[in-house]
Amino acid sequence: MLDVPAERVLVVPTELLHRLGYFQGFTRDVDRYLENLLSMDHVSFRPRPEVEQDPAFKQLIPYVIFCYRDQQGRQTVFQYTRGTGQGEGRLHRKRSIGIGGHISMVDSIVEGGESRVESRELRVESGESSSRLSTLNSPLATRDPYRAGMKRELDEEVFIDTPYTDRCAGLINDDLTEVGRVHLGVVHCFDVERPAVRPREPDILECAFRPVEELLKDLAEFESWSQICLEALFVGGGRA
């Protein structure tokens, strides 16, 4: 039987989140966190089975919410139920408003077959200068693993048959749940021109754009990150 290597996913030290300013729940203060969280000085790729059980690291997860204002002026959001074939077993059968997943090492591959993050780590260990390391952020290394991973996850999970604008709306940290303790969500709101988003993956079930007020009435049926986002972005007249 072949020994298949474990998927390696992008993580940051949990200590970094505490250093930047710990929060529980949702924050809109993207500028305070995101640049540091995505810095080559802090990210690494580690075996997923290890970090799923290690709260010393946070796996960064793009969490995309599709928003559409209908002809009646109501704010609607794409929602679905997670099937049992999706990767994170702890979220099976939960309702969700977020599309996304892990940033994998395959998302970091640049021209010539190097992993952008791993090549940096090797150069640190060999003692090369910081000026040499800075070339990894030059236009020659155009592969952005975070953006590449988000695009890959979207392409795998849904068809987006409409123009849209992408806004980074905030971050989610939920240390009150087993899943949340080892993940950190980056929330993107995709404002679509038409409600033309449909599943590509068979385990995205019972999906549709629904008015926010209907989703808030059923809040307990949703996974914790969706609950946090619905309350933070849409309660009290708030705009996503």
CATH number for 162: 3.90.79.10
Q: What is the pLDDT of residue 137?
A: 34
Task: Specify if 184 maps to a domain.
Answer: yes
* Tokens at 187, concatenated: 């929330």
Question: Quick one: pLDDT at residue 130?
Answer: 28
The answer to the question of residue 220 being in a domain is: yes
The answer to whether position 153 is within a domain reads yes
Residue 51 lies in a domain: yes
In this structure, is residue 209 part of a structural domain? yes
Digitized pLDDT (tens) for each residue of the chain, 240 residues in all: 566 788 999 999 999 999 999 999 999 999 999 999 999 899 999 999 999 999 999 999 999 999 999 999 999 999 999 885 545 445 446 899 999 999 999 998 865 555 555 433 322 222 332 222 232 333 333 468 999 999 999 999 999 999 999 999 999 999 999 999 999 999 999 999 999 999 998 889 999 999 999 999 999 999 999 999 999 999 875 555
The domain tally of the chain equals 1
Question: What local confidence, expressed as pLDDT, does residue 94 receive?
Answer: 86
Q: Is residue 225 part of a domain?
A: yes
How high is the pLDDT of residue 14? 98
Give the domain range for residue 116: 8-237
Q: Look at residue 3 and tell me if it is in a domain.
A: no
Q: What is residue 6's predicted lDDT score, i.e. its pLDDT?
A: 86
For residue 1, tell me if it sits in a domain: no
